[in-house]
Amino acid sequence: MSSSATQNRSSRTPLIAGNWKMNLDHLQAVATVQKLHWTLKDAGHETGSVQVAVFPPFTDIRSVQTLIDADKIPFELGAQDLSAYDSGAYTGEVSGAFLAKLGVGLVIIGHSERRAYHHEGDDVVGAKVKAALKHGLTPVICVGETAEDLERFGGSAVPVSQLEKALEGVPASADIVVAYEPVWAIGSGQAATPAQAQEVAAALRGVLARVLDDDAAARTRILYGGSVKSSNIASFMREPDVDGALVGGASLVVDEFAAIVRYQKHVGV
Ligand code: 13P
């Protein structure tokens, strides 16, 4: 990894992203986004210092988009998955074209829950990354090792291999986000240590430099995910290669998620 990539940390706007998974119906989604907006406003959160993104279930997206547009709420809207195909006989799938039309800007691809429960391998992840880029969506490419992988190969080997495969055929100019989510840390209450997150994030930035180029490595944001809370976010954000967080459970609790977004204020980095 080139040290210039790490030194450019200040050029990467931190991204705090809430992956709601299969939680909150469209009415709850609207209430949650409204409350989050007002909580951050009341706290004097400076829009632009940290980018905020929410990833609701598909059925909520239209309602959240309407709210964000109407109230000029400065949150990015994301989806949790997309189809590798544009349209056709793929019952139950959602096309990137449809998401783009709804104002979705980001899409999670290769989350470990989809890899595990829906048997999505690196080939499917790669096809979805290309589909996202084709429709102007920014893929949030998730990689991470299981506890068994960690024991056998250390932290970096599996995430590095997953990212290399996901980036095959991706142009260096592509706008992407990478999320390092150790499977053993997701929903377990046992987050990685900041040093573990940094070690893997640095290795992933090395992949970006090698497979894409130095500029891509310097500008691409790498998030940490796995039991992120308001009490540990600042320690991750102090690491030079960690540019934000992909938050699961804690993103469903507005005050807690707002405190994570405001990590610079309430703990000081
Ligand atoms: P938790 O924050 O609940 O551990 O989930 C992390 C995650 O999977 C985000 O995509």
**Between 168 and 8, whose confidence is greater?**
168
Q: Is the pLDDT of residue 262 over 50?
A: yes
Instruction: Count up the domains in the chain and report the number.
Output: 1
HEC profile of 70-110: HCCCCEEEEECCCCCCCCCCCCCCCCHHHHHHCCCCEEEEC
Q: Is the pLDDT of residue 4 over 50?
A: no
Half-sphere exposure of 154 (CA within 13 A, CB side): 8
Q: Is 181 in the pocket of ligand 1 (CB under 6 A)?
A: yes
Mutate which of 15, 20, 21, 22 for ligand 1? The one with the most ligand atoms within 8 Å of its CB, which is 21
**Between 154 and 54, whose confidence is greater?**
54
Residue 268: what pLDDT?
45
pTM passes above 0.85: yes
Q: Is the pLDDT of residue 259 over 50?
A: yes
Q: Which protein residue has the closest C-alpha to ligand 1 atom 9?
A: 248
Centroid of ligand 1 to alpha carbon of 173 (angstroms): 28
Residue 11: what pLDDT?
87
> Is 111 among the catalytic positions?
yes
When mean pLDDT is compared across 5-9, 190-194, 260-264, the lowest value belongs to: 5-9
Q: What is the mean pLDDT of residues 13-29?
A: 98
Chain mean pLDDT for the chain: 95
Centroid of ligand 1 to alpha carbon of 188 (angstroms): 9
Mutate which of 117, 232, 246 for ligand 1? The one with the most ligand atoms within 8 Å of its CB, which is 246
Considering the candidates 145, 181, 199, 239, report the single residue annotated as catalytic: 181
CA atoms of 257 and 33, how far apart (whole Å): 11
Of the candidates 40, 246, 24, 212, the one whose C-alpha atom is nearest the C-alpha of residue 143 is: 246
Q: What is the mean pLDDT of residues 181-208?
A: 98
Q: What is the mean pLDDT of residues 226-234?
A: 97
Residue 8: what pLDDT?
59
Residue 214: what pLDDT?
98
Q: Is the pLDDT of residue 2 over 90?
A: no
Centroid of ligand 1 to alpha carbon of 226 (angstroms): 5
Q: Which protein residue has the closest C-alpha to ligand 1 atom 2?
A: 248
pLDDT tens column, 105-144 = 999 999 999 999 999 999 999 999 999 999 999 999 999 9
Band of residue 46 on the pLDDT scale cut at 50, 70, 90: confident
Q: Is the pLDDT of residue 77 over 90?
A: yes
Helices (H) and strands (E) counted in the chain, each on its own, are 13, 8
Q: Is the pLDDT of residue 89 over 50?
A: yes
Residue 224: give the domain boundaries: 2-267
Q: Is 225 in the pocket of ligand 1 (CB under 6 A)?
A: yes
CA atoms of 217 and 222, how far apart (whole Å): 10
> Is 266 among the catalytic positions?
no
Residue 269: what pLDDT?
46
Identify the CATH number of the domain in which residue 206 sits.
3.20.20.70
Centroid of ligand 1 to alpha carbon of 233 (angstroms): 13
Q: Is 17 in the pocket of ligand 1 (CB under 6 A)?
A: no
